[in-house]
Amino acid sequence: MTNSQKTILFMPESAYGPTNQCIGIGKVLLERGHRVVFAAEASWKGKLTALGFAEDLVDLAPPADGEVEQDAGQFWKDFIRDTSPEFRKPTIEQLSTFMVPTWQALIDGAKYCEPQLRAIIERVRPDVVVEDNVLCFPALMTAGVPFVRIVSCNPLELPGPNIAPAYSGYPADDRTMWDAFRIEYDRTHRPMWTDFNEWVIEQGADPLPDLQFIHESTAANLYVFPKEADYLDLRPLNSTWHRMDSSVRETDQEFELPELARNRPAGSALIYLSLGSLGSADVDLMKRLVDVLGRTKHRFIVSKGPQHDEFELADNMIGMEFLPQTKVIPQLDLVITHGGNNTTTEALHFGKPMILLPLFWDQYDNAQRMDELGFGVRLSTYAFTDQEMFDALDKLLNDNALRTQLAENGQAIRARDGLRAGADIIESVALGLAGPSA
């Protein structure tokens, strides 16, 4: 690539997953001499400049009276905590009670920050805008520069007739419920989508694809999912789409295994437990997992999350509020996860089997995909029995053929270096070497 410096503006969704995904790519671009600016949500203040990025942040809602400065992603932590009872419902029932309110909260944030984004674009004058989100921000579409879309959720987000509907968690080989889910999605979402589409057009952007809340880019689109688990044989994509097999950021600090993890009994495994920054806000679920896993012979490293002071760990566990996940996973034998796309793809990147306990959004799709491919075991998050957890641990830890396969997959995934593949595409668009302007 040329040494010409370009200004690249990232607009990630506020939660840790998409923001960390953009941090990983952004750091590569920063090291190549480009100016990287984050139009992230305001609770990320100071956390991005500490990594060398410029910040020009947005508020997604008016501040409440007397509001104090929030932790990064706090809006979504609070939202998930307050709505967690909905996660006990089948996915088709969540469409009206969880999915619609979540989409509406996202839409409200997009509408509120639209003037701020237009002002940011005027100040920053980017050469390319990069959005890692699930809905359109018209200011990015009308900026007069190329737009790159990143999908850091499960790629069922890109629909097709021969793949299960996104957010359903339905099996690939059983279409029994596919049509019913799509009909219910249309019924519950169309009025909201119609209103949002009209607003998007009023802001000067093109109409949205039917029942989709974000456009495809005509310049370049990226998605994060390994070839070994992809759906391309069932749902081919056009030439603007580029797969990043994984996007493992290189900004995490090193992690030395504590004494409890290093010196463990013969026959015991070392296991990582993380329900993500949002899922771990469900304290009752975390307590249940601590109780069940605390009665095994294994050792656990636990990402306790934002409610870390509301529950204690068992004697065979060590943990803290946040952990440098990309440095932890390579040292472990197995990952217990909510099925967020970052954790799922990072586990595959490092060749680790998974037990998946999905809570919301695309986590059901990731859990189902890992289970049907044999890369992990999907359990019912709130209804699993103690024995089902024990059996899943035994199955995955003692399957030597699977562990060999995952190790080989991980080696291939790492060799494809998705982080730099994604940075290459964005850099090419910024330099005018790939794709027309959006």
User: What does the pLDDT look like over 35-88, one tens digit per residue?
Assistant: 999 998 888 888 899 999 999 988 888 876 555 555 555 665 666 667 777 888
CA dihedral 303, 305, 309, 313 (to 10 degrees): -30
Contact 157, 134 (CB under 8 A): yes
- pLDDT score of 240: 95
Please state, as a whole number, how many other Cβ atoms lie within 10 Å of the Cβ of residue 147. 26
pLDDT in tens, 338-375: 999 989 999 999 999 999 999 999 999 999 999 999 99
Tens of pLDDT, residue by residue over 3-15, are 589 999 999 987 7
Question: Above 50 in pLDDT, residue 255?
Answer: yes
70-96 as b/e: b if 16+ CB within 10 A: bebbebbbebbeebbebbeeebbebbb
Q: Supply the pLDDT for residue 438.
A: 36
What pLDDT shows up at residue 377? 98
Instruction: For 27-49, write each residue's pLDDT tens digit.
Output: 999 999 999 999 988 888 888 99
pLDDT at residue 437, rounded to an integer? 38
Percent of the chain at pLDDT > 90 equals: 71
What integer pLDDT is reported at residue 86 of this predicted model?
85
Residue 435 has pLDDT above 60, yes or no: no
Taking alpha carbons only, the member of 119, 127, 15 closest to residue 58 is 119
Q: Quick check: 255 and 352 in contact, CB under 8 A?
A: no
- Packing angle of the helix pair 100-124, 178-202 (nearest 10 deg): 30
CATH topology identical between 7-250+417-430 and 259-416 = yes
> Percent helix, strand, coil in the chain (nearest 5)?
45, 15, 40
Q: H or E stretch including 336?
A: strand 334-337
pLDDT at 71: 58
Q: Residue 365 is encoded by which pair of tokens?
A: 């799709």
**For the structural domain made of 259-416, what CATH number should be given?**
3.40.50.2000
DSSP character at residue 407: H
The CA-CA-CA angle for residues 26, 103, 246, to 5°, reads 30
Report the percentage of the chain scoring pLDDT > 70: 93
Cβ neighbors of 193 (< 8 A, separation 6 or more) are: 208, 211, 213
pTM metric for this prediction: 0.91
pLDDT of 81 reads 65
106 bridge partner residues: none
Residue length, the chain?
A: 438
Sequence-ordered list of residues with C-beta below 8 angstroms from that of 279, at least 6 positions apart, any chain: 80, 285, 305, 338, 340, 357, 359, 363
Ordered by start, the domain boundaries in the chain are 7-250+417-430, 259-416
Taking the C-alpha atoms of residue 224 and residue 247, their distance in angstroms, rounded to an integer, is 7
Are 150 and 224 within 8 A, CB to CB?
Answer: yes
Instruction: Kindly tell me if the per-residue pLDDT of 309 is higher than 80.
Output: no
Second CATH level (architecture) for the domain 7-250+417-430: 3-Layer(aba) Sandwich (3.40)
Q: What is the pLDDT of residues 152-197, one digit of tens each?
A: 999 999 999 999 999 999 999 999 999 999 999 999 999 999 999 9
